Amino acid sequence: MRMEAGETGVGVGIYATALWLIGRDGALADLAAPEHDRGALDLDVQQAVDLGKARAFSSARTSQRRKENRAKKESPDE
């Protein structure tokens, strides 16, 4: 009865058993498949974009520092 009422305290095992009893337990594999988890995929994409931006910024900063260091070495000492 708790499952039918939608209580949050009902464990996933109860739902798995109920699906097994009605012959729909094969759907659990699809439910748990990472490739069907749209939220996780969106999060992974956002993290990859953020990482790419951070790496690009770091690379540009390093390149700028190298140019500045070369310019200092090439300029005559005062």
DSSP notation for 41-55: HHHHHHHHHHHHHHH
Q: Check: CB of residue 3 under 8 Å from CB of residue 10.
A: yes
**High-pLDDT (> 70) share of the chain, %:** 95
C-alpha 73/C-alpha 7 separation (Å) is 71
Global confidence as pTM: 0.50
**pLDDT one-digit tens code per residue, 54-77:** 999 999 999 999 999 998 888 766
**pLDDT one-digit tens code per residue, 9-54:** 788 788 888 889 999 888 888 877 888 888 888 999 999 999 999 9
pLDDT at 40: 86
